[in-house]
């Protein structure tokens, strides 16, 4: 069966170059509790349901140690809820401002739609958060055919495959072979792998790369190339079927359907072996 559905992530993939909004919100929310985190530590679980993300950060050895020193006890479920409330407060404060399209999104999505593909999406954001992100993206010219949040699948967000399955239900896909998942985090790749679909990673402006648009533009062409290659290697180590620099490169690959067929054959061969 030919591929007919592309399921895209949001922050770091189609909007918010560098996935900056959630990083800053997590950092400030943990600072409220006296915990200092690096951007790299915050980004490692990126793409998960946000409460699960917080639990992952609280499970870090250095955080557990800091928490006991500060509060005299291990963190509890009530602390997760408290941090999440602060996270939401900081995220909503500047979510619209940090939901602008990545530079190539509008042109790439127009081309992909012209090629006849369905465009679905998954996210780590809640439905309420996505209402803000979607409206900003829509005003700038991007509106996928379908949006699924963890709220739509009983909070079983990434790396669970259920948001992908919900997209497939909507588009009436008959087979995993009709679907490609595209994202900018390791969690996106795991989501695609767990769903049994082709998983493609975007390197430029990804959370995994971790640079803002201004920081990225400040690099030389050689530095950009080296950083994209290093980021791609990390994705391939986690099972990505393909890495692209940006969404325009993805659109070119989708136009050349023989490339997708080769990826599918390679995936089948890997499963057989």
User: DSSP strand E in 29-188: where?
Assistant: 118-121, 179-183
Residue 61 annotated as binding site: no
How far is it, in rounded angstroms, from Cα 22 to Cα 26? 6
Please indicate whether residue 28 is annotated as part of the active site.
no
Instruction: Order the strands of the 198-202 sheet from edge to edge.
Output: 118-121, 5-8, 179-183, 198-202, 242-244
Dist. CA 272–CA 269, nearest whole Å: 5
Q: Is 11 annotated as a binding residue?
A: yes
Can the peptide bond before residue 159 be classed as cis, meaning omega within 30 degrees of 0?
yes
The catalytic residue among 9, 52, 86, 241 is 9
Say which of 50, 102, 190, 267 is annotated catalytic: 50
Annotated binding residue at 79? no
Whether 50 is catalytic: yes
Q: Which residues are within 8 A (CB) of 227 and not within 5 positions of it... i.e. 6 or more apart?
A: 209, 211, 219
Catalytic annotation, residues? 9, 50
Binding residue numbers for Mg(2+): 9, 11, 184
Binding-site positions read: 9, 11, 184
């Amino acid at each position: 069966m030919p591929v007919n559905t592309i399921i895209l992530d949001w922050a770091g993939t189609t909007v918010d170059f560098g996935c900056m909004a959630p990083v800053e919100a997590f950092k400030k929310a943990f600072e409220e509790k006296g915990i200092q985190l690096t951007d790299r530590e915050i980004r490692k679980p990126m793409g998960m349901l946000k409460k699960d993300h917080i639990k992952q950060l609280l499970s870090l050895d250095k955080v557990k140690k800091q928490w006991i020193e500060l509060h005299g006890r291990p963190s509890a479920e009530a602390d997760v809820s408290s941090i999440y409330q602060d996270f939401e407060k900081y995220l909503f404060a500047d979510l619209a401002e940090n939901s602008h399209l990545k530079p190539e999104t509008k042109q790439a999505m127009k081309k992909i739609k012209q090629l006849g593909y369905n465009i679905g999406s998954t996210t780590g954001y809640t439905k309420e958060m996505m209402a803000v992100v979607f409206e900003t993206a829509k005003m700038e010219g991007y509106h996928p055919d379908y949006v699924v949040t963890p709220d739509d699948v009983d909070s079983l967000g990434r790396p669970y495959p259920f948001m992908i399955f919900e997209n497939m239900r909507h588009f009436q896909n008959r087979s995993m072979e009709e679907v490609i998942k595209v994202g900018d985090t390791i969690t996106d790749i795991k989501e695609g792998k767990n769903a049994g679909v082709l998983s493609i990673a975007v390197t430029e402006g990804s959370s995994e790369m971790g640079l803002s648009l201004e920081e990225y533009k400040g690099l030389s062409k050689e530095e950009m190339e080296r950083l994209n290659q290093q980021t791609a290697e990390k994705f391939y180590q986690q099972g990505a079927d393909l890495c692209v620099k940006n969404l325009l490169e993805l659109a070119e690959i989708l136009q050349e359907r023989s490339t997708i067929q080769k990826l599918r054959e390679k995936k089948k061969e890997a499963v057989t072996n």
